[in-house]
Amino acid sequence: MSAPADLNIDHVANLARIALTPEEKAKFARQLGEVLHHIEQLRKVDVTGVEPTAHAFPVYNVWGEDVARPGLAVEAALQNAPAQRDNMIVVPKVVE
Q: Does 88 bind other proteins (CB under 8 A)?
A: no
Q: Does 55 bind other proteins (CB under 8 A)?
A: yes
Q: Does 68 bind other proteins (CB under 8 A)?
A: no
Alpha helices in 1-96 (DSSP H): 9-15, 22-39, 74-78
Question: E strands along the chain, which residues?
Answer: 84-85, 88-89
* 3: nearest Cα among 35, 30, 27, 38: 30
Minimum separation from the CB atom of position 73 to other proteins (A): 8
C-alpha span between 34 and 1 (Å, rounded): 6
Q: Does 45 bind other proteins (CB under 8 A)?
A: yes
Interface residues toward other proteins, by CB under 8 A? 6-7, 9, 11-13, 15-20, 24, 28, 31-32, 34-36, 38-39, 41-43, 45, 47, 50-57, 59, 62, 64-65, 72, 76-77, 79-83, 89, 91-94
